[in-house]
Structure 1
Amino acid sequence: MTKPSHMVCLGGGHGLYQTLLSARLSGAADISAIVTVADDGGSSGRLRRELEIIPPGDLRMALAALANSDPVGDLWARTLQHRFKGSGAMAGHAVGNLMIAGLTDVLGDYQAALDTIAELTNSQGRVFPVVNQALEIEAEVAGLDDDPRVMRQVRGQVAVASTPGQVRRVRIVPERPSANPDVLDAIERADLITIGPGSWFSSVLPHTLVPQVVEAISASDALRVVVLNLSAEPGETHGFSAERHLHVLAQHAPKLRIDRILVDEAALPTDSERVYIQRAAQSLGARATFADVSQVDDSGRSNNKHDPEKLSAALLELYSEYRSNSDTNRR
């Protein structure tokens, strides 16, 4: 099976973490994690406000996911993710967040701090913030008023992710920020690009609100895959169908062009549901593909996480098919 030489994964949080684990299993020689930077909660939010830095939490998780699987890399990965307990000033802070903040102070450069930690962990790739500044998320939310037609504005990633209303649209502040040049370079060199899974409005869509990122992905010759969430999430996408996730993506990024939408086969078991999502995929220039990518517990029930081994196998199959078709068309 053909392996990608450079895999680029866009997202944030736990969804990106699982995708990066699958990227490592794919055998890609180079992996680039492109990470959302709008987090304003917990340890990341505190460091963002106190030190005026890019929130480090999602970047830390990506570094942990890419740490080498030898004893040293495993120790560093667990250390990066470790959180202090108690009730004092350090309570809740992740060690990796503090390392990123401290190294940024020492080295005077945020990317140098990320790359230094990657060296410590013998990382299998590099981690980049999508833009070189902290972003804010603003959302238009329905259902927070007696009149369901009234839209209220909610600001902040935590507020958007936990709203009891229904998110209709999001924007980032500042609008139309310049992309991190390293991100554009990584996308240009990629031969496999993934977007998602993750919190749709607060981890996935912010990438598509950076115009240069959308332009770079749409112009790429790489296989471009949206990895769809296994289910709707409480809060921001409560009640969303798989089809609606794609409509929202197309609404926010009408110029985005994708090749495949990877959907867990158990999430859409009926032919009618699959017809609807194929139609939605066409709005992005894509075709939906169905595969078993869900992680299951000992009783065989899905735990609502993507299984890295299954996801890797599905992506490699798609990539092999894509390369085979590309080689045929060039003859």
Structure 2
Amino acid sequence: MQYRFTSTGAMHGHAVGNLLLAALWDKDSDPVQGLDRVASLLKVVGRVLPMAIEPLDIEGTFQSSVGRTIIRGQKEVAVAKGKLESLRLIPEDASSTPAGLAAIADADWITFGPGSWFSSVLPHFLIKQQIDAIIKSKAKKLVILNLDAAPSMRGDEFAGSSPAEHLSILQKFAPEFHCDIALADTSVSLDKGAMEEAVSDIGGELVVADIASGGSVHHDPEKLGPVISHIFSL
């Protein structure tokens, strides 16, 4: 599902999972039903729900050495260079799905990340109904920090910045949000003091574990899964 086509044609860069979803949504205009169909087809454990009822686009304003630039599009925002000044969804007044809000209200744990911080994590805090539901929820909150926030890693987003800066951006967009636990890879060990302070600022506790996949900017699912399971058992 995560495999991306590599070619010189129109399919280049597209994930198999996204194409399957697009086909089912073309057949059935209800995005929740389309996701449920995919889950049934693939025998997925759990349920995937969209953030909003309508299709969304994302737009960010970045400040860099060449000046201020407005960048639009999920992929483009995810790899944008420079300091993020503002981030918005289009349309800005999008409504959350009732099923998504119900899931937030019923959850024991709500996790954020891993994924593109700009285009996959922060957008959850940009829909008013959803952030209100998250803040009101009695569920415990877990933030999984990306590996490319670590100075030793080489990624597009956050390359050379610290995990503490990673969290400060989250706090900027959602000042009322508090987490219970922030999970980081052992690569933060050189800056652990600053990291603990940043996590404390959003009300949480820092947990450090070996969750990286061999020097890449990706998590190792076989390492990450057991760590999350242990956290959920606390």
Q: Normalized against structure 1, the TM-score is what?
A: 0.62
- Please state how far the C-alpha of 1:274 moved relative to its aligned partner: 1.6
Which residue of 1 is the match for residue 207 of structure 2? 289
Q: Which structure is larger by alpha-carbon Rg, 1 or 2?
A: 1
Once the two structures are superposed, the pairs formed by residues 80-119 of structure 1 within 5 Å of their partners are: 81=3, 83=5, 87=9, 96-119=17-40
Which residue of 1 is the match for residue 216 of structure 2? 303
SS at structure 1 position matched to 2:213: strand
Give percent identity, aligned residues only.
Answer: 38
- Please state how far the C-alpha of 1:230 moved relative to its aligned partner: 1.4
CA contact (8 A) 1:139 1:154 kept: yes
Q: What amino acid does structure 2 have at the position aligned with 1:112? A: Q
SS at structure 1 position matched to 2:121: helix
The 1:100/1:198 distance shift into structure 2, 3 A limit, reads closer
Once the two structures are superposed, the pairs formed by residues 140-289 of structure 1 within 5 Å of their partners are: 140-145=61-66, 150-232=67-149, 234-265=155-186, 267-270=187-190, 273-289=191-207
The 1:171/1:287 distance shift into structure 2, 3 A limit, reads same
CA contact (8 A) 2:31 2:50 kept: no
Q: What amino acid does structure 2 have at the position aligned with 1:307? A: D
- Please state how far the C-alpha of 1:241 moved relative to its aligned partner: 0.6
Unmatched 5+ stretches in structure 2: none
- Residues 1:136 and 2:54 aligned together: no
Higher RCO (C-alpha 8 Å, min separation 6): 1
Distance in 2 separating the partners of 1:306 and 1:254? 27
- Count of residue pairs brought into register by the alignment: 230
Q: 1:314 aligns with which of 222, 227, 234?
A: 227
Per-residue CA deviation, residues 10-51 of structure 1 (Å, 9 max, x unaligned), is xxxxxxxxxxxxxxxxxxxxxxxxxxxxxxxxxxxxxxxxxx
The 1:263/1:128 distance shift into structure 2, 3 A limit, reads same
CA contact (8 A) 1:139 1:171 kept: yes
The 1:138/1:91 distance shift into structure 2, 3 A limit, reads closer
Distance in 1 separating the partners of 2:209 and 2:12? 41
Distance in 1 separating the partners of 2:189 and 2:194? 12
Moved more, 273-282 or 234-243: 234-243
Distance in 2 separating the partners of 1:86 and 1:156? 21
Q: What amino acid does structure 2 have at the position aligned with 1:269? A: S
SS at structure 2 position matched to 1:306: coil
Which residue of 2 is the match for residue 17 of structure 1? none
Q: What amino acid does structure 2 have at the position aligned with 1:314? A: V
The 1:116/1:279 distance shift into structure 2, 3 A limit, reads same
SS at structure 2 position matched to 1:169: strand
